[in-house]
Amino acid sequence: MAQLRDPRAFASYFEREVLVRLAPDDLDVLTRVAICQRFCASLCAEILGQPQAVTRLGSRISQMVADNLFISVVPGHDDETWYRIHPLWRETLRGHIDDAVLHAVRAGEPAAAANLVEGCALALLARGELSRVAGLVRMLPDEQVRQRYRLHGVMAYMQLYARDFEALRVSLALLEAQRDALSASGRYSLSLLKAGLALQFDESDEAAAMLDELRNAPPDTIEFVWHTRANVLSLLLTQRGEHDLARSVLEEADQRTRSRRSWLLGRCIHALGLAQEGQIQEAGRIVKEVLEEAEGLGQGYVPVAGMAAGLLADTLYELNETEAVCHLLEPRMGALERASLPEVVLRASLVLSNSHWQAGRSAQALACLDRLEAYARRYALDRVLAEAMVLRLRRHLHGGEMEQAALVLDRVEALASRHAGSGPGKSAQIARAASCAWIDMALYTRNFAGALERIPPLIAGGDQSAGTVGLRMQLAAARLGLGETQAGRDDFIEAMRVGHRLGLSRTLLDALQTVPDALDMLARDPLPDPVLAFQVQRLMHALRSAAGRHGRATGGHEADALRLLSGREREILQLLAQAMSNKKIAMILNVSAETVKWHLRNIYAKLGVGSRAGAAALLRDMAGPAAANH
């Protein structure tokens, strides 16, 4: 046997010397468990659909080991004895499944063929072998598939994992029509599939309505359904912000399931929860490990690798590694849209757009938003659409495009109104997005009082997620704009403290995109903590570097901004640059001080500055021919 290293030679040896020694029942057992890299008696009983036969099957396996049938005992994590089939023999047996199904159908034994497919299909799905399951099911007569709930269930799970949603809806309707005849485990699978479909369309409220049922799996739940439960339930809890419960579900699954693919998916969901909590660095460490492993495990793990890459981009972006983000995500976006959850597609698209923007590639950044909005509309994902519009509004504001920004704000607010009362999860998320868009507009137009009114309700409750830290930074800018210097500085220090603990960098900078001069003013006085002082210097350096790239990429933006000013606004700006007070300007122009104040607010918004000093400095910078023309 030492010379039999070639799979074809081994297959020939197996057919000639080993197969003839096996009883038909033993061949059936080995053929079915060959889909697993290792197995035990209870797993074997589960695959065969004979949960009561664990003891008998354990004895049969022990006898096959004693007969030297290339089965060895391997270490396990529990009290059961675990076995492993020789890899070359295992591959031979795996091919035997397809042959056995085909031969049974041709021999006029479709029920036996269907039994074989039922016994191995779920384990194959757990390994990500969707195409192989589809091929096995296609071998069966349609009548056998229609008559068997378990095969209907197999098809439905396969459609969920393959994202064939229209076919899945048809399968669920057929299963729902048989609900009264289903076992408890059958009804549980039906609810699990419905919840999984709802989450694929970002319908967290619909899935949450089944939460109690999803928690209470029947005692006879098979392994594949158990780890599907873990992924669906933990994802739902993560979206609801119940991160500790989500982690406990995944930990429980780790103790009960043996699917590598499911475990890696669970790690990604765990990392998603950490990222939502703001623990970006820890999330990045986890998904980097998942990505490295999944990329070496073949086609069945491509969706896992894509999900890990999308989440890893979050970490890279926070570290200001914008080119690394583009390199990681650009070749994967198509696969992400086809195979990942809406939340992952959203996060990946936003960080890719932001990364292009920071590199000065505005056209690519806007193209990312176009693509994300098209994806959201294609699948009717209104929360995703709302988040995309928030970033688009910021882009318009950066370009001084007030009319377009106002139109986007109207659209996102209309979206929030349409979903008001539609469910506690989605309606609240879309309303929050609309509020964030309104706050960005308020800060840009120097409506600091409005921003100060809107922000506190969004950060109440002690939440310290990345989004809340960004809002805290905006609150500091609003207080500063109202002259509440000490309160603004306190909020700034708190945002920096939490941001440093969570490893946030770009989140803090992006929060101030509509008030770019705020960071200079907030950081003017030394911070009491030298570590935070160092972090502020890093932020300042990143801000100036990005400004330099945008200046080179969009050269002439300042001149374009000056052209946006009306004749009266240009007059006021010229007088302001001479260090005149509002009262003095009003007297010279024969208008009221309130009118001057109103014009100044418009000037600041159009120029993208936050103070008289900023406006005057911009005019001085343009003191060459472009400014002279004004």
Has residue 432 been placed in a domain?
no
Answer yes or no: is pLDDT of 133 > 80: no
Maximum mean pLDDT: which of 71-80, 500-509, 620-629: 500-509
Cross-strand bridge partners of residue 73: 83
- In this structure, are 482 and 542 located in the same domain? yes
- In this structure, are 14 and 84 located in the same domain? yes
Band the pLDDT of 610: cuts 50, 70, 90: low
Q: How far apart are CA 294 and CA 268, in angstroms?
A: 11
pLDDT value for 426? 84
| CB contact set of 233 (below 8 Å; sequence gap of 6+) | 211, 214, 215, 246, 249
Average pLDDT of the chain?
80
Give the range among 279-288, 404-413, 488-497, 603-612 with minimum mean pLDDT.
Answer: 603-612
- Angle at CA 549, nearest 5°, toward 573 and 345? 110
Has residue 339 been placed in a domain?
no
Has residue 258 been placed in a domain?
no
Band the pLDDT of 430: cuts 50, 70, 90: very high
- In this structure, are 12 and 81 located in the same domain? yes
The SS3 assignment for 97 reads: helix
Name residue 202's amino acid. D
Number of folded domains in the chain? 3
Give the pTM: 0.70
Give the range among 33-37, 107-111, 389-393, 450-454 with minimum mean pLDDT.
Answer: 33-37
- In this structure, are 28 and 76 located in the same domain? yes
CB neighbours (10 Å) of residue 166? 8
- In this structure, are 491 and 578 located in the same domain? no
Cross-strand bridge partners of residue 83: 39, 73
Answer yes or no: is pLDDT of 519 > 60: yes
Q: For 594-621, what is the mean pLDDT?
A: 75
First to last CA, the chain: 91
| CB contact set of 568 (below 8 Å; sequence gap of 6+) | 589, 599
Band the pLDDT of 77: cuts 50, 70, 90: low
Is 114 or 213 the better-scoring residue by pLDDT? Answer: 213
Cross-strand bridge partners of residue 72: 84
Has residue 465 been placed in a domain?
yes
pLDDT value for 558? 54
Phi, psi of 247 (to 5 degrees): -65, -40
> Contact at 8 Å (CB) between 175 and 156?
yes
pLDDT value for 553? 47
pLDDT tens figures, 215-242 = 888 887 777 788 888 888 888 888 887 8
Domain boundary among the residues 34, 61, 95 is at 95
Answer yes or no: is pLDDT of 5 > 60: no
Counting Cβ atoms within 10 Å, is residue 258 exposed (0-12), middle (13-18) or buried (19+)?
buried
Has residue 36 been placed in a domain?
yes
| CB contact set of 197 (below 8 Å; sequence gap of 6+) | 160, 165, 168, 169, 172
Domain boundary among the residues 45, 61, 95 is at 95
Has residue 501 been placed in a domain?
yes
Counting Cβ atoms within 10 Å, is residue 400 exposed (0-12), middle (13-18) or buried (19+)?
buried
**What does the DSSP 8-state code read for residue 96?**
H
Alpha carbon of residue 542 to chain centroid: 26
- In this structure, are 539 and 590 located in the same domain? no
Give the range among 387-401, 426-440, 456-470 with minimum mean pLDDT.
Answer: 456-470
- In this structure, are 542 and 614 located in the same domain? no
pLDDT tens figures, 161-195 = 777 888 889 888 888 888 888 888 888 888 999 99
Answer yes or no: is pLDDT of 563 > 50: yes
Has residue 145 been placed in a domain?
no
Band the pLDDT of 91: cuts 50, 70, 90: low
- In this structure, are 534 and 569 located in the same domain? no
* C-alpha radius of gyration, the chain, whole number: 31
- In this structure, are 450 and 519 located in the same domain? yes
- In this structure, are 36 and 88 located in the same domain? yes
Cross-strand bridge partners of residue 74: 82
- In this structure, are 501 and 534 located in the same domain? yes
Counting Cβ atoms within 10 Å, is residue 616 exposed (0-12), middle (13-18) or buried (19+)?
middle
List, in sequence order, every beta strand (DSSP E) within 323-427. Answer: none
Domain boundary among the residues 95, 113, 143 is at 95
- In this structure, are 597 and 505 located in the same domain? no
pLDDT value for 582? 86
pLDDT tens figures, 307-326 = 889 889 988 888 888 888 99
For residue 32, give the CATH number of its domain: 1.10.10.10
Band the pLDDT of 2: cuts 50, 70, 90: very low
Backbone torsion region of residue 40, taken as left when φ is above 0, otherwise alpha when ψ lies between -120 and 50, otherwise beta: beta
Name residue 333's amino acid. M
Is 293 or 277 the better-scoring residue by pLDDT? Answer: 293
pLDDT value for 630? 39
Has residue 134 been placed in a domain?
no
Alpha carbon of residue 379 to chain centroid: 16
Domain range for 591 is 564-628
> Contact at 8 Å (CB) between 291 and 268?
no
- Tell me which residue has tokens 């194959």: 124
